[in-house]
Structure 1
Amino acid sequence: MQDRTRVPSTPSLQQHATRAAFFMPGFAIAAWAPLVPFAKARAGLDEAMLGMVLLCLGAGSLLAMPMAGALAARQGCRRVMLAAMLAACAALPVLAIAPNAVVLGLALFVFGAAIGAMDCTMNLQAVVVERESGRALMSGFHAFYSIGGFAGAAAMTALLSAGAVPVWACVAAVVVVLALVGVAFRHWRGERVDSDVPAFAWPRGIVLLVGVVCFVMFLAEGAMLDWGAVFLDQAKDMDPARAGLGYVAFSLAMTVARLTGDGVVQAVGAMRAVVAGALVAFAGFAVIVLAPGVTVALLGFVLVGIGCANIVPVMFTAAGRQTAMPESLAIPAISTLGYAGVLAGPALIGFVAHGTSLQFAFWCLAFSVLGVALATRWLRV
């Protein structure tokens, strides 16, 4: 690979710029979440129509991720990430003013494609920056996605609670993202692969196994988001108004664990960190299901957050080290499989819970995560 874009930079500046790259999509996607009720009312949608329209966001992401890797190989990460964040900034205000389901669906498709392209390309950037640093950095990078999500949701909720018009709240969020882009993009990587790279390739060998691990871990994360509060309400008789504390405990624990995760990975080794994380996450699910009361169950959410935190970052590092596929193909494939876990998770858990019970569905998640610990015997790269 040859860097054809001569931009003054240093390894430290590239690391900070990569952290900013992870913060931005987390901030942007979280800024959309508080807007959903406003968008639903403005477009005149019922719950069923809203569910269909929201699928456009996931569809855009899934289609964009594989193509983003090929574009990054040909154009460099910098150009793809810049285009992705500009597209996300253009789409976000439209989400607040969409007058009907068609416009909202199209805006969500563009927004999802932009976020998906950014998610994929920022991991390509992170792999190169981490590799050149000679030390573990990936968990810290991923922590900034979580920090961005917290900041975006908190800022948008505060603006809307203060009476801000949704579209102007979106404009404020866009200003924040554009300011970060203006500072960071000069230090994003500009290398291009000299050979042509196909737009999509099926994962094979160790890349497929890494992708399956990411699918499982994103499935577990999606379960905490979509089913955690329902579980506390139905299985632990927690007040529905407070049941969201489960996801809060999970997400805060994950963020803290990622901020400290690079040191852990550096100290004990990547695969040992994965095994330990999977065992802690399994224990967390067991505590959630078996806990006699709400307080102990919330401790289970914390354990799941700690356990899951550093497994996906280690998998992306492994994707950058394997030789079965070029990383410009491997990372998009892994990103797509992981995101498929987020999308499929709610439906899969609901299907299992409907046929058996929600407790059994959570046990299935627990043993799936335990399988990740067993998979490490084939993941040494």
Structure 2
Amino acid sequence: MPDTGPQQRLSTRLAFLAAGLSMSAWAPLVPLAKLRLGLGEAQLGLLLLCLGAGSLLAMPSTSFLTARFGCRPVVLCSGLIVCLVLPGLAFAPSALLLGCVLFTFGAAIGTLDVAMNIQAVVVEKNSGAALMSGFHGLFSVGGFLGAGSMALLLWLGLNATASATVLALLVGAVLAGAASGLLRETDAQVRDAPIFVMPHGAVILIGALCFLCFLAEGAILDWSALLLTEGRGPDGGAGQGGLGYAAFAIAMTLGRLTGDRVVGKLGGQRVLLLGGLCAAAGFFCTVLASSVAGMLAGFVLIGLGASNIVPILFTAAGSQRAMPASLAIGAITTLGYAGILAGPAAIGFVAHATSLPVAFAGLGCAMLLIAASATLGASSAPKAVSK
């Protein structure tokens, strides 16, 4: 059994922080890239798909690499690639080259995501404490810090390339701090894993639930502003469009940072049930509320309810016995990213056929399915937090 003491916990948290910093650093560069290259919305949409495609293609192979070589080299190598290509996102001179850089960036982010979650599963399992929500909370914190730092650097007058380089150096420094506690080997089940196993048994259920949860997150990111600003009473203005996602993201971060204690006291299954019900109530609130304040309360409920669902599902993937843990983590992470990519388009199709409130009500029903899954034993999260 690998050593998973305080240093390993700290390194896992730093890996999640670095991933959040990396992923969010691209967001402030999107409008600059659009302006620099003279891209239309359709062209930009295709380029953004390059990032998602890189992640989805890299994730399954990451399970094999981590099983064979351990988490440390995979996390550090993928993190190094992120640091090297991040400035390229700011100065790529053509749409074709930007697409290639985005694909590479997405592949590195996807690899880092799977490897750090495998590390998190091993560290949590061997510690006997509920830790996964806190790990994912650091990813959310990194997202705030990365986007905020990039915006601040650009506001201070640094050009895009210099700002991206500063963020790349920051990510590198965080990963350097994490290096000593990253696992050079994992447990026996992971080390002996085959190259590929078709997802089956509990992994299919866990992956489907991850898909639904990430689908909802992707939909909120792209559609919450429109829901807030269209036909929602006299207090709904265009300037308030971003408040919905902000309320959701802040609530989710707070929920994850306090989630380990909650899961430790209530148990994973109960938190999964209550979280699904809370998120469902939030979606129905956004649909039924007649004011912006009421809708924002709904987004807060969604963030709080959904905050610990994915961490609990990752814990469950590491605890199931249907297939090796590393391959299970790769499978559910891939399905989760697929949900993020599919969510905005799916909501668009449903909204076109019916209306946007109806589409959001459908997301509420999806959260009820997640709550119902708790009665099937979809979670096996640790039941107590070590003191």
Q: TM-score, normalised by structure 2?
A: 0.94
Q: Indicate the residue corresponding to 2:142 in structure 1.
A: 148
- In the other structure, the counterpart of 1:317 is 315
Shift of 1:373: 1.0
Structure 2 residue aligned with 1:330: 328
C-alpha displacement at 1:208, in angstroms? Answer: 0.4
Q: Which amino acid aligns with 2:222?
A: D
Task: Say if 2:222 is the partner of 1:226.
Answer: yes
Question: Does the 8 Å CA contact 2:347/2:359 hold for their aligned counterparts?
Answer: yes
- Following the alignment from structure 1 to structure 2, what is the Cα–Cα distance between the partners of residues 44 and 253? 36
Match of 1:20 in 2: 14
| Counterpart for residue 61 of structure 2 | 67
Asked if the contact 1:22–1:142 (Cα under 8 Å) also holds between the matched residues in 2, the reply is yes
Q: What pairs up with 1:222-371 in 2 under 5 angstroms? A: 222-237=218-233, 238-371=236-369
**Length, aligned pairs only:** 374
Q: C-alpha separation between the residues in 2 aligned to 1:372 and 1:196? A: 29
Aligned with 1:191: secondary structure?
A: coil
Match of 1:197 in 2: 194
> What is the percentage of aligned positions where both structures have the same residue?
52
Aligned to 2:91: 97
| Correspondent of 1:209 among 205, 226, 230 | 205
Instruction: Quote the Cα distance in structure 1 between the aligned partners of 2:292 and 2:4.
Output: 49
Maintained 8 Å contact 1:277/1:307: yes
Counterpart position of 1:6: none
Instruction: Using the TM superposition, give the Cα deviation of residue 181 of structure 1 relative to its aligned residue in structure 2, in angstroms.
Output: 1.3
Q: Secondary structure at the match of 2:240?
A: coil
User: Displacement, 1:359?
Assistant: 0.7
1:201-225 deviations in whole A, cap 9, x for unaligned? 3311100000011111111111111
Is 1:206–1:324's contact at 8 Å kept on the other side of the alignment? yes
Matched, 1:116 2:114: no
Structure 2: tracts of 5 or more residues without a match:
381-387
- Contact 1:74–1:197 (CA<8 Å) still a contact in 2? no
- Alpha-carbon spacing, 1:12–1:285, altered in 2? closer, same or farther (3 Å): same
Shift of 1:180: 0.9
Q: Report if the CA contact (8 A) 2:277-2:371 is conserved.
A: yes
Paired residue type of 2:91: I
Q: Report if the CA contact (8 A) 2:312-2:379 is conserved.
A: no
Deviation per residue, 1:175-217 (Å, 9 max, x gap): 111111111111101115554621x433111000000111111
| Structure 2: distance between partners of 1:55 and 1:253 | 28
Q: Take 1:180 and 1:46, find their aligned partners in 2: how far apart are those partners?
A: 36
Aligned positions of 1:44-83 closer than 5 A = 44-83=38-77
Task: Give the Cα separation in 2 of the matches to 1:194 and 1:48.
Answer: 44
For residues 132-163 of structure 1, the C-alpha deviation after alignment (integer angstroms, 9 at most, x for no partner) is 11110000000000000000000000111111
Structure 1 residue ranges, 4+ long, deviating more than 6 angstroms after superposition: none
Distance verdict in 2 for CA 1:106–1:268, change over 3 Å: same
Closer/same/farther in 2, CA of residues 79 and 373 from structure 1, 3 Å limit: same
| Gap runs ≥5 in structure 1 | 4-8
Provide closer, same or farther for how the CA distance between residues 261 and 194 of structure 1 changes in structure 2, counting only shifts above 3 A. closer
| RMSD across aligned positions (CA) | 1.3
Which residue identity lines up with residue 95 of structure 1 in the other structure? Answer: L
CA displacement, residues 224-247 of structure 1 (integer Å, 9 cap, x when unaligned) = 111111100114252112210111
Write the letter of the residue equivalent to 1:232: L
- Shift in Å at residue 38 of structure 1? 1.2
Residue 339 of structure 1, CA deviation: 0.7
What is the CA-CA distance between 1:41 and the residue it aligns to? 2.1
Deviation string 1:268-299 (CA, Å, 9 cap, x unpaired) is: 11000000000000111111111121111100
In the alignment, is the contact (CA less than 8 A) between 2:18 and 2:171 conserved in 1? Answer: yes
* Aligned: 1:160 with 2:157: no
Residue number in structure 1 paired with 2:384:
none
The letter for the 1-side match of 2:220 is M
- Residues of 1 paired with 2:175 and 2:282: CA distance? 38
Q: Tell me if the contact between 1:82 and 1:181 (Cα under 8 Å) persists in the aligned partners.
A: yes
